[in-house]
Amino acid sequence: MSERSCEPKRIIVTGGAGFIGSNFVHWVVENQPGVHVTVLDALTYAGNRANLDGISADRMTFVHGDICDATLVDQLMTDADAVVHFAAESHNDNSITDPAPFVRTNVEGTFTLLEAARKHGTRFHHISTDEVYGDLALDDPARFTEETPYCPSSPYSSSKASSDMLVRAWHRTYGVDATISNCSNNYGPRQHIEKFIPRQITNILSSNRPKLYGDGLNVRDWIHTEDHSSAVWEILTRGRSGETYLIGADGERNNIDVLRAILEAMGKSADDFDWVRDRPGHDRRYAIDSAKLRRELGWQPKRTDFAQGLAETIQWYTDNPKWWRGAKEAVEAKYAAQGQ
């Protein structure tokens, strides 16, 4: 167990109107009654102010702004105990089509935040991804650990690897009180419909056949966003400064099995989908070993029943068509143009 104890009362959550960020904000409001959250979000296509509906103004302040805006970031940092940095361009397909926004947001934005944290002595937690490690062979029993060498495959994962290195350098060179977490694939409510699970669900709800890349055997290590949120809080408040922690819930599943689980849960045939060509550089397998997090901080995932979590996620999209319906046509048109 770690001896560190950090009890922030005023935190900034960058990207807090996005999928994982908004779920973290809801988790903090529901589980940490003494904490006020300032959400900083640029509201790009993946950010949605409605993701924060239901949170009272006395618990959260929303700021529409860019993490690359040094003046704004500096102003917000003067009154914060900690920053949890979720904001990122995060979709692999988009990074292959146009990598420029990924470098700006993920690298320049992280630099801007780190400089403000250095100036104000603000606790800094950086949200990263397991994709910085590249991928594993399907028949390899190994999993990613904190010691796995970086080997990013796409412009997206390369930009996240770059931001991780900035965080480590600012800790070592300038003494910024920083930690990093690399997490496996999150699922749950409020995820943009370009991503794998909500795209399949909303295709079925729209009477469209789901699409599956390549041979469907690519493996992802799934974790419910509530478990990710609780792990981030443990690292923020009790993790050792300068350390990296991997977050995972032993949820390895290949894409075809996940798609068939969605189809069957929604009353469809398990083969009621179309095959589409694979995307360039598609990583084969991700798998997280979260032993360090569990050993040092005593964290354990609670939402480990994937079938139940998937059913709840399907129900959320079924109950909230206004949230996703307006974007659906444009998302599918973009994929169709790419042959996917």
Distance CA 223, CA 288 (A): 10
Q: Can you give the three-state secondary structure of 205-238, one letter per residue?
A: HCCCCCEEECCCCCEEEEEEHHHHHHHHHHHHHH
Tokens of 262: 């969605």
Is residue 187 annotated as part of the catalytic site, yes or no? no
Residue of 66, 89, 115, 156 with catalytic role: 156
**8 A C-beta contact, residue 83 and residue 117:** yes
Judged by phi (left if over 0) then psi (alpha if -120 to 50, else beta), residue 15 lies in: left
Is residue 245 annotated as part of the catalytic site, yes or no? no
Residue of 115, 131, 227, 243 with catalytic role: 131
Measured between its terminal Cα atoms, the distance across the chain in Å is 46
Residue of 66, 115, 130, 243 with catalytic role: 130
Nearest to 301 by CA among 252, 249, 246: 249
Distance CA 206, CA 331 (A): 13
Tokens of 182: 């690399």
Tokens of 115: 């400089």
Distance CA 84, CA 15 (A): 9
Is residue 130 annotated as part of the catalytic site, yes or no? yes
Distance CA 114, CA 77 (A): 10
Query: Could you say which DSSP state residue 18 is in?
Result: S
Distance CA 137, CA 190 (A): 31
Distance CA 235, CA 23 (A): 17
Catalytic residue numbers read: 130-131, 156
